[in-house]
């Protein structure tokens, strides 16, 4: 490649190297053609980058600034490649000159982002951040929260719902699609036909299965009833498939489909819902930055995408709240956004300095959250604690995930994870794990309710922990048995509650732990033995008293912890008992119950 000597002091350039001013430098031959190639290559690179990055063309989006920075970097990279400077260092000055304008653009973008973030920060705008959500703190727990209706209390979490949903995938064999799909892994809790359910879409098993099935799409979705623990694969009518999804690629990838129709919109993470007729939709919250250039994320509307046809319809937040035809929409504010907004409210009400030094009245959400179904809406629940990091809550907040109506209830007691640990301690011999607690009103008593799962994430027992006195911990094989034990435990602590155990039992007959579905009853592998105790031995294991019982006619010992069944401590040799246990060939067997 023959060099050209460019001389700014002489006002020109020549392949013969004309000029010798101090600003002269060597440039490759045919610089004009190479410039056009660089510009064309930059345009192609920008199109490819836009296709995969999908940045909103919105000054409030940091992705837009990053995108233009990438485009400028592409131009510089092409200049480096086309000039041959890698093998001919004498062209370095030429390349540096070509990089001046792109470098200035990148610097300008960085300055805009930096200044925008600075003036959007809580340091300067703490008051605005504290007002991003309105929280009513005037209500009381006992009067405002209805007593628990166990026909609508969810007993599953994401892991347990996924375990049941995976079983439902076997129904794909009816359309010869078994092993072609798996779960997407993202569940949305909604109210469907007056019942709390979690819904999820399917995903392709691997890239080869995507090639085989993408021309049609996904044949259906999965619904998991959070109360009855029934999971159903819902197949769409013949000829209908879910063609637009977060699990798709190219033009059918949901976010790309949205971006090409709404190039300037800022979107929060989309989620999957179904209407009362079972038709599938993606709800894609449209957000705005309400504080400065980049701060104060809030939802201003939603784009509803028909998962089958891809048809998009835009609604404002007010329309979703007021239009009866849209009442089936349960979630437009994500769980993470609501927690973030509440933390702004709790931390910065007294100003930024107060949140750091004095911390008067500063409070934040606890680690973790859950969902409650009330009044045909879904509410996000999280405990509230002081910033000192202790293990107690000072109250909890419920936020409507459709309207953002937020209420704080002052209730002191144990944090959710502390309560879960207490429940797990009762059944530590079984190694069960607790779901994140749900807060219930049990005859005026704030009560944590949770399910206890085995290593396969299948529900085996239930637990209740009194929020204000977390030493009141009980478990039961059924909700009714757990409720009965809870009432008895409270009476021992001089707290009387009015509950109808028979009514609870009737309402939850189909919700026993480990049930496959109401249509396919599980095989009962439990056994019982009734007889006179011939031997009782005790040991302290893990700091807990454990009793080993032997019944006349059996050589086996049945193990039961005192925390699992307090009545065991008053048993004597010669007492008649009935022990329920899981079938086992071991010499020592864990007792499920002792009566």
Q: Are residues 167 and 306 in the same domain?
A: yes
In the DSSP assignment, the letter for residue 70 is: H
> Phi and psi (nearest 5°) for 416?
-60, -45
Residue 126 inside a domain? The answer is: no
Strands (E), 236-357: 266-267, 271-274, 280-291, 295-306, 312-316
Same domain, 316 and 365: no
Instruction: Supply 371's token pair.
Output: 């969902």
CB-based contacts of 44, cutoff 8 Å, min separation 6? none
Which range has the worst mean pLDDT, 7-11, 165-169, 181-185, 261-265?
A: 7-11
* Under 8 Å between Cβ of 578 and 595: yes
Q: Is residue 520 part of a domain?
A: no
**Cβ-contact 285, 332 below 8 angstroms:** yes
Residue 358, token pair as written in the block: 């004095």
Q: Note whether 192 and 307 are same-domain residues.
A: yes
Given a cut of 50, whether residue 17 has pLDDT beyond it is no
Which pLDDT score, from 0 to 100, does residue 10 have? 40
Higher per-residue confidence, 23 vs 40: 40
Per mean pLDDT, which range of 11-20, 85-94, 347-356, 573-582 is the poorest?
A: 11-20
Whether the predicted pLDDT of 447 surpasses 90 = yes
pLDDT score of 525: 52
331-366: string of b/e by CB count within 10 Å (b at 16+)?
A: bbbbbebbbbbbbbbbbbbbebebbeeeeeebbbbb
Question: Residue 23 has what pLDDT?
Answer: 60
Can you tell me the distance from the alpha carbon of 63 to that of 61, in angstroms, rounded to the nearest whole number? Answer: 5
Tell me the H-state helices in 54-180. Answer: 62-83, 92-98, 100-119, 122-130, 141-144, 158-168
* Interval 175-202: pLDDT, tens: 888 889 999 989 999 999 888 999 999 9
Any domain includes 264: yes
Give per-residue pLDDT as tens, 251-260: 999 999 999 9
Q: What average pLDDT does the chain have? A: 88
Block residue for tokens 């927690």: 339
Is the pLDDT at 576 greater than 90, yes or no?
no
| CB count in 10 Å sphere of residue 411 | 19
| Interval 95-119: pLDDT, tens | 889 899 999 999 999 999 999 999 9
Three-point CA angle 367, 371, 372, nearest 5° = 135
Residue 578 and residue 556 share a domain: yes
Question: Coil, strand, or helix at residue 127?
Answer: helix
Verify that 86 and 72 share a domain, yes or no: yes
Cα–Cα distance for residue pair 497/472, rounded to 1 Å: 14
Spatial contact of 557 and 588, defined as CB atoms under 8 Å apart: yes
Query: DSSP code of 436?
Result: P
| Range(s) of the domain holding residue 88 | 3-119
Say if residue 31's pLDDT is above 60: yes
- How many CA atoms does the CB half-sphere of 118 hold within 13 Å? 6
Contact between 50 and 66 under an 8 Å Cβ cutoff? The reply is no
3-state secondary structure 537-582: EEEEECCEEEEEEEECCCCCEEEEECCCCHHHHHCCCCCEEEEEEE
Per-residue pLDDT at 590 exceeds 60: yes
pLDDT given for residue 529 in this prediction: 83
Does residue 473 sit within a domain? yes
- The domain that holds 567 is classified in CATH as 2.40.50.140
Of 254, 303, 285, give the one whose Cα is nearest residue 404: 285
Residue 405 CA to residue 380 CA, distance in Å, equals: 10
Residues 21 and 45 in one domain: yes
What element of type H or E holds 414?
strand 413-414
Query: Which one of 392, 411, 430 terminates a domain?
Result: 411
CA-CA distance, 57 to 68, in Å (whole number)?
A: 10
Residue 101 domain-assigned?
A: yes
Q: What is the pLDDT of residues 516-560, one digit of tens each?
A: 443 333 334 567 788 888 999 888 876 778 888 988 878 888 888
pLDDT value at position 512? 59
Shared domain check, 454 and 469: yes
pLDDT of residue 94: 87
Ramachandran quadrant class, 574 (left: phi over 0; alpha: psi -120 to 50; beta: rest): left
- Distance between CA atoms of residues 184 and 205, nearest Å: 10
Mean pLDDT to the nearest integer, 159-170: 90
Check residues 318 and 584 and name the one with the higher pLDDT.
318
Cβ-contact 304, 320 below 8 angstroms: no
Same domain, 560 and 589: yes
Q: If you search the block for the tokens 């435990």, which residue do you land on?
A: 489
Alpha-carbon distance values, 483 to 279, 415, 521 (Å):
37, 21, 23
Residue 549: how many other CB atoms lie within 10 Å: 24
- Kindly state the percentage of the chain with pLDDT values over 70: 92
Partners of 344 in the β-ladder: none
| Statement to judge: residues 245 and 321 lie in one domain | yes
Q: Is residue 130 part of a domain?
A: no
Q: Please write the tens of the pLDDT for every residue from 374-411.
A: 888 999 999 999 987 667 899 999 999 999 999 999 98
Q: Which of 385, 411, 437 is the C-terminal boundary of a domain?
A: 411
Asked whether residue 302 is assigned to any structural domain, the reply reads yes
| Residues 277, 350 share a domain | no
Domain boundary among 472, 507, 542: 507
- Residue carrying structure tokens 């809790």: 189
Say yes or no: 363 and 374 in one domain.
yes
- Categorize the per-residue pLDDT at 212 as very low, low, confident or very high, splitting at 50, 70 and 90: very high
- Whether 515 is covered by a domain: the verdict is no
Per-residue pLDDT for 4 more than 80?
no
Q: According to the model, what pLDDT value does residue 523 have?
A: 39
DSSP labels, 449-484: EEEEE-TTS-EEEEEEEESS-TT-EEEESSHHHHHH
Pull the structure tokens for residue 428: 């530590």
For 210, how many CA atoms within 13 A lie in the half-sphere containing its CB?
11
Residue 376 phi, psi dihedral angles, 5° rounding: 65, 25
Same domain, 53 and 38: yes
What does each C-alpha distance from 284 to 66, 236, 315, 566 come to in angstroms? 23, 22, 10, 51
- Does residue 13 surpass a pLDDT of 60? no
Give the chain's count of helices (H) and strands (E).
Answer: 15, 32
Q: Is 585 exposed, middle or buried (0-12, 13-18, 19+ CB in 10 A)?
A: exposed
Query: How many structural domains are present in the chain?
Result: 5
């Amino acid at each position: 490649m023959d060099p050209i000597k460019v001389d700014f002091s002489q006002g020109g350039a020549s392949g013969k190297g004309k000029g010798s001013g101090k600003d002269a430098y060597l440039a490759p031959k045919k610089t004009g053609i190479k410039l056009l190639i660089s510009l064309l290559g930059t345009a192609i690179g920008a199109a490819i980058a836009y296709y995969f990055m999908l940045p909103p063309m919105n000054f409030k989006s940091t992705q837009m600034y990053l995108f233009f920075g990438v485009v400028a970097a592409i131009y510089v990279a092409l200049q480096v490649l086309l000039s041959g400077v890698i093998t001919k260092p004498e062209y370095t000055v030429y390349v540096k000159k070509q990089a001046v304008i792109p470098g200035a653009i990148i610097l300008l973008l960085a300055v805009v982002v930096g200044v925008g973030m600075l003036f959007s920060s809580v340091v300067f705008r703490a008051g605005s951040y504290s007002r991003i959500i309105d929280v009513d703190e005037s209500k009381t727990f006992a009067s405002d929260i209805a007593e628990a209706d166990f026909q609508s209390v969810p007993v599953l979490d994401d892991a347990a719902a996924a375990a049941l949903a995976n079983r439902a995938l076997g129904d794909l064999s009816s359309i010869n699609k078994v092993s072609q799909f798996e779960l997407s892994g993202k569940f949305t809790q909604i109210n469907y036909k007056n019942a709390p359910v979690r819904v999820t879409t399917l995903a392709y098993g691997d890239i080869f299965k995507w090639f085989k099935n993408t021309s049609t799409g996904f044949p259906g979705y999965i619904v998991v009833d959070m109360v009855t623990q029934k999971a159903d694969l819902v197949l769409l009518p013949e000829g209908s498939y879910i063609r637009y999804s977060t699990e798709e690629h190219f033009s059918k990838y949901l976010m790309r489909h949205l971006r090409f129709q709404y190039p300037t919109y800022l979107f929060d993470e989309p989620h999957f819902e179904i209407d009362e007729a079972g038709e599938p939709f993606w709800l894609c919250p449209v957000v705005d930055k309400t504080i400065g250039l980049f701060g104060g994320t809030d939802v201003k509307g939603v784009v509803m995408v028909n998962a089958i046809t891809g048809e998009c319809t835009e609604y404002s937040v007010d329309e979703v709240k007021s239009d009866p035809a849209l009442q089936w929409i349960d979630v437009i504010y994500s769980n993470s956004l609501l927690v973030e907004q509440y933390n702004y409210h709790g931390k910065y009400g007294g100003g930024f300095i107060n949140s750091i030094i004095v911390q008067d009245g500063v409070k934040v959400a606890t680690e973790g959250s859950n969902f409650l179904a009330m009044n045909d809406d879904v509410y996000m629940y999280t405990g509230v604690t002081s910033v000192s990091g202790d293990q107690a809550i000072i109250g909890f907040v419920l936020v409507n995930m459709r309207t953002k109506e937020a209420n704080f209830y002052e209730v002191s007691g144990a944090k959710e994870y502390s309560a879960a640990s207490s429940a797990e301690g009762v059944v530590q011999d079984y190694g069960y794990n607790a779901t994140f607690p749900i807060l219930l009103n049990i005859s005026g008593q704030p009560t944590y309710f949770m399910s206890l799962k085995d290593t396969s994430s299948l529900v085996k027992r239930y637990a209740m922990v009194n929020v204000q006195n977390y030493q009141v911990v009980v478990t039961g094989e059924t909700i009714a048995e757990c409720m009965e034990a809870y009432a008895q435990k409270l009476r021992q602590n001089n707290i009387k509650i009015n509950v109808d155990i028979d009514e609870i039992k009737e309402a939850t007959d189909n919700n026993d732990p480990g049930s496959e579905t109401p249509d396919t009853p599980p095989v009962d592998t439990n056994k019982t033995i009734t007889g006179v105790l011939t031997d009782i031995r005790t040991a302290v294991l893990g700091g807990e008293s454990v009793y080993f019982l032997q019944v006349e006619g059996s050589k086996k010992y049945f193990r039961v912890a005192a925390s699992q069944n307090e009545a065991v401590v008053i048993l004597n040799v010669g007492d008649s008992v009935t022990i329920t246990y899981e079938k086992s060939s071991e010499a020592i067997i864990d007792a499920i119950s002792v009566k």
